[in-house]
Amino acid sequence: FIDKHLPKNKLGLSVRNYEGVMSTLCAGCGHDSVTAALVQAFWELDLAPESAAKVSGIGCSSKTTAYFMGQSHGINCVHGRMPSVATGANAANGDLNYIGISGDGDSLSIGFGQFAHAIRRNLNMLYILENNGVYGLTKGQFSAAADYGSKSKKGLANDQMPIDPCVQALTLGAGFVARAFSGDKSQLIPLIKAGLKHKGFALIDVISPCVTFNDHAGSTKSYAHTYKYYHPLVHTDFVAHADEVTGSYDADGAMRVTMQDGGELFLRKTESDYDPRDKAQAIETLMMNKTEGEIRTGLLYLN
């Protein structure tokens, strides 16, 4: 169905042509906002749906691949094994835009080794990790990304330290590392566009609230509580923002970074930004993030 009244991209397609089947996730789940951002990013980049290959593992997050670009290639893989399937598909056809969707359970527990080696091999793909700290599909057990001391729905406190996927990706050699919040599409969409343009492994760790099993405010009556918990912690003005992948962005203080495909990435700078090509600064930022309990989002590292 093509809505004649919606604007078209250079391929003559509207955003509706980039949608998939209707979501069956809980109302208010952060993952649906990631889906909407993916639809918008692919549409804005004028990428044909059939130019994409969607790969995912198991979990609420991994259902996302069904919800965008119904006309593209896609496979829902075995739990934690999505990077292996992406590696094989990449070897068979390197011309597609590979996009992996995973969760913190799928990537940081059963699939942790796969995640690490996909980065080491510098697999050419955009890897989106929808991170909510719980196994939503199996009713809310702590994942390896759960905050220390956070409470489960039954009131139990998590007594293990979380794994930070961005720190792991940086130390394993990823050339593009970003963190975003599903409640901020103005930052998430440009980051997805930049990640799709990056040649090599690109990680975007998206803080994506589970409104059913990870209600940090202590009440399960309203999903708004989960977003209220995150909003004061999320700082989008600290780290460089990816404003445009290509184009003529010319704001004061804009910084230009040349991408590996020859395109340019324009970054809006604020007083406290650092050069995202400085890995030590990126790691220091994430460490500060841990001690101060804040969530710094944006493009953390680009090489």
Q: Does 145 bind ligand SF4 (CB under 6 A)?
A: no
Which CB atom, from 17 or from 214, has the smaller least distance to ligand SF4?
214
Site for ligand SF4 contains 29 (CB under 6 A):
yes
Distance CA 168, CA 54 (A): 23
Which residue, 47 or 60, has its beta carbon nearer to ligand SF4? Answer: 60
Shortest distance, position 60 Cβ to ligand SF4, whole Å: 3
Asked if 257 interacts with ligand SF4 (CB under 6 A), we say: no
Q: How far is the CB of 246 from ligand SF4 (least distance, A)?
A: 33
8 A C-beta contact, residue 179 and residue 169: no
Q: Please tell me whether residue 193 binds ligand SF4 under the rule CB under 6 A.
A: no
Position among 55, 60, 204, 267 found at the interface with ligand SF4 (CB under 6 A): 60
| Beta-sheet strands, E only, within the chain | 52-56, 73-76, 97-103, 125-131, 134-135, 141-142, 176-181, 201-207, 234-235, 241-244, 255-258, 264-268, 295-296, 298-302
Taking contact as CB under 6 A, which single stretch among the options 6-14, 88-96, 105-113, 205-213 is the one that binds ligand SF4?
Answer: 205-213
Please tell me whether residue 103 adopts helix, strand or coil conformation. Answer: strand
Inter-CA distances, 276 with 197, 240, 250, 284, Å: 17, 7, 19, 12
Amino acid at 108: L
Based on CB atoms, which residue is closest to ligand SF4, 122 or 220? 220
Site residues (vs ligand SF4, CB under 6 A): 25-26, 29, 31, 60, 132, 136-137, 210-213
